[in-house]
Structure 1
Amino acid sequence: MSAFQDVLFSIENGHGRIVLNRPQALNALTLDMIDAIGAQLAAWEMRADIKAIVITGAGDKAFCAGGDVKAVREAKLRGDLGLLEDFYRREYALNHRLATYRKPIVAVMDGIVMGGGAGIAFNCSHPVVTHKSLFAMPECRIGLFPDVGAGHFLNRASPAVALALGLTGLTLRGPGIIRVGLARYFVGSGRVGEVAIDNLDALNLAVDSAGIDEMLPKIEPVFGLKTLDEIVTVLAARRDPWAVETLKAMRSFSPTSLRVTFAHITRARGQDLAEVLKTEFRLVQHFMTAPDFFEGVRAQLIDKDGAPKWQPAELGAVTPEMVERYFTPVPGLKDWAPPTR
């Protein structure tokens, strides 16, 4: 038996079952977990006795709270630039494998799902939410941008909602995820263990109301505007609590992250996942050489002083030319491309 226990694999009733098993870290993804999942999926793909895959998270709090960004920061501090490339190259390969897998994959988000966890769940053919699901893409808060295919899956929602999710870190619960179009299946949290590809329709619950319902009429006209500057201007002109809180949050985020995120989500509309991941690999590698991500992780996750010093510190100082550089190939690095099967 393998000593590696951060991901558990089993076969039950014709289903390959994958359990993300780091509950003490909210099942955050490490490179070893990414590699193990990719290898197991490859081994199961052509097996006739396995008709579908089911992915869940261990513990009662999270499906997966994201990638292990503390480990990425530590790699930067010790000068391990190879890991900064390998982590994202292999994580995006897993995202693409999940999306193009030859069998259905059910991902049950019974708890927190953010960042890299969303990259697993929403790239699967059958994302499932529960009453405990709590989804957000808060990368701008730590000086990064929503990646792992977010330019593709966030755009399943309306353009305004996709931008609101990417720019504000807006949190959605299970019914809200259904309401905005990011998932189709909603099951009771107590029935997660029963989920299989054959009974999803039987377990599926109706969504009568969602917390996002009263917010959508505010989101659509504001985040549907053509530029980030217009969005910020309109939010600043309004006096209602939603606008005040939304703008306050955005003003605490990395200005560079906000500009790049707006550009990426807008440009990614209509692109396939491989195109989006190629762009996101360029973006993330540029972020690995810039200061904001490492400062954001320090301020929010290491020292927890909540006072990152962004460079530049103001949205107006992030020029179109600076944003455009993030979309260019990274000198000395091969572009990301889907791995051959």
Structure 2
Amino acid sequence: MSSFQDVLFSIENGHGRIVLNRPQALNALTLDMIDAITAQLAAWEMRADIKAIIITGAGDKAFCAGGDVKAVHAAKQRGDLGLLEDFYRREYTLNYRLSTYRKPIIAVMDGIVMGGGAGIALNCSHPVVTHKTLFAMPECRIGLFPDVGAGHFLNRAKPALALALALIGLALRGPGVVRAGLAKNFVASNRVGEISIDNLEELNLRVDKAGIDEMMPNIEAVFGLKTLDEIMTVLGARRDAWAVDTLKALNHFSPTSLRVTYAHISRARGQDLAEILKTEFRLVQHFMAAPDFFEGVRAQLIDKDGAPKWQPADLAGVKADSVDAYFAPVPGVKDWAPPTR
């Protein structure tokens, strides 16, 4: 019997079950969890008695609130640069394996789903949302960028909405995730225990309206503009509450994150997941070598003073050539490549 309890595995009624089991940490992903899930998926893939996989989160608050960025921050502090490479390389490999798995995978997003949690759920064949789903990709707030295949799954949404989700970290409830085109299945929270690959369609609820509907005219008008600078200019010229709040949020985020994120989401549209993960691995390794991510984690999650000191401090200081440099190969670091089976 394994003593490792951060992920639980079982087989029930022809389904392999994976439970992310760190409810005290909102089921945030560690490298050990990533490795355990990868190994179990490989063991189950060719078994004839398993027809589908179901992934859920323990507790009543979260599916998975993301990767364990505090652990990544701690690794940098102690000079463990190998972990900064291994964590993302193996996480992205898991994202890719989920996307290309030979059996259906149902990911039940019943609660908070952010960052690495979205990388698990939205790369599966059957992401399921509920009344309790709260989805967001708030990486620009901590000096990072939406990764784990976000260049692929956010681009399922219309271009303006994809950019709004990536730049603002706009939060969506279950119906909004469906309306945005990120997931197809919406199931009542009190019925998630009944979900199987056989009855998913009959459990599916219709989405007649979503909170995002009222915001879409604003999002299209602003985030449909041609450049990030135009977006910021128009937000600054408007006086309505939505524009004022949106500009205030963006002005608090890492300028480097905003520029790189805008470029990434725009360039990634139409690319396949393997291409996007290769790019995202380059991007994340450049972020690991730069100050903003570690400053963002300090300000938002460790010291919690909410006062990050970004470098550069404003968008004007982030030049086009420095953005392009984030997309270039990282000296001394091998590119991410899809795993061979």
Give the TM-score range, shorter chain.
Answer: over 0.9
Q: Counterpart of 2:150 in structure 1: which amino acid?
A: A
Q: Distance in 2 between matches of 1:313 and 1:200?
A: 48
Displacement of 1:340: 1.0
C-alpha separation in 1, matches of 2:239 and 2:209: 26
Any gaps of 5 or more consecutive residues in structure 2? none
The one-letter amino acid of 1:206's match is R
- Within a 5 Å distance, the mapping from 1:105-254 to structure 2 comes to 105-254=105-254
* Residues 1:76 and 2:76 aligned together: yes
Cross-structure match for 2:86: 86
- Of all paired residues, the percent bearing the same amino acid is 84
How far apart in 1 are the matches of 2:23 and 2:48?
32
* Secondary structure of 2:214's aligned partner: coil
Equivalent residue letter for 1:123: N
SS of match in other structure, 1:226 = coil
1:208 Cα deviation after fit = 1.6
Paired with 1:18 and 1:191, the residues of 2 have a C-alpha distance of 18
**2:71 equivalent to 1:37:** no
Q: CA deviation at 1:231?
A: 0.5
Give me the whole-angstrom Cα distance separating, in 2, the residues matched to 1:139 and 1:36.
25
Aligned to 2:310: 310
Q: Tell me the CA shift for residue 260 of structure 1.
A: 0.1
C-alpha separation in 1, matches of 2:206 and 2:100:
28
1:16 aligned partner, one-letter code: G
Whole-angstrom CA distance in 2 between matches of 1:248 and 1:132: 27
SS at match of 1:214: helix
The Cα shift of 1:209 comes to 1.4
Mapped to 1, the partners of 2:238 and 2:44 lie a distance apart of 54
Aligned residues: 341
Query: Distance between the aligned counterparts of 1:226 and 1:329, measured in 2?
Result: 27
SS at match of 1:113: strand
Q: 1:263-274, aligned counterparts within 5 Å?
A: 263-274=263-274
String of CA shifts for 1:56-84, please: whole Å, max 9, x gaps.
Answer: 00000000000000000000000000000
Does residue 18 (structure 1) correspond to residue 18 (structure 2)? The answer is yes
Aligned to 1:215, the other structure's residue is in SS state helix
Q: CA deviation at 1:220?
A: 0.8
Name the residue aligned to 2:292.
292
Q: Give the distance between the partners of 1:199 and 1:241, measured in 2 at CA.
A: 43
Aligned with 1:278: secondary structure? helix
- SS of 2:79's equivalent in the other structure is coil
Matched residues in 2 for 1:71 and 1:101: separation?
A: 28
- CA drift at 1:107: 0.3
The one-letter amino acid paired with 2:295 is E
Q: Distance in 2 between matches of 1:127 and 1:220?
A: 26
CA distance in 1 between counterparts of 2:232 and 2:144 reads 19
Task: Tell me the alpha carbon deviations over residues 298-321 of structure 1, each in whole angstroms, 9 at most, x when there is no partner.
Answer: 000000000000000010110001
Structure 1 residue runs of 4 or more that deviate by more than 6 Å after TM superposition: none
Cα displacement (A) at 1:40: 0.2
Counterpart residue type for residue 254 of structure 1: S
Q: Distance in 1 between matches of 2:316 and 2:169?
A: 21
1:339, distance to aligned residue in structure 2 (A): 1.1
Partner amino acid, structure 2, of 1:275: E
Alpha-carbon separation, structure 1, partners of 2:154 and 2:58: 25
Paired amino acid for 1:273: L
One-letter code of the match for 1:207? V
The DSSP-based 3-state class of the residue aligned with 1:10 is: strand
Amino acid at match of 2:248: K
| Separation of aligned partners in 1, 2:290 and 2:255 | 13
- Aligned equivalents of 1:136 and 1:56: distance in 2? 18
Instruction: Please state how far the C-alpha of 1:207 moved relative to its aligned partner.
Output: 1.0
CA distance in 2, matches of 1:118, 1:241: 29
Letter in 1 for 2:63: F
**SS where residue 72 of structure 1 aligns?**
helix
**Which one-letter code corresponds to 1:266 in the other structure?**
S
Query: Hey, what's the Cα distance between the residues in 2 that align with 1:249 and 1:319?
Result: 21
For 2:255, the aligned partner's letter is P
Q: Partners of 2:97 and 2:64 in 1: how far apart? A: 18
CA distance in 1 between counterparts of 2:196 and 2:21 reads 20
Shift of 1:334: 0.5
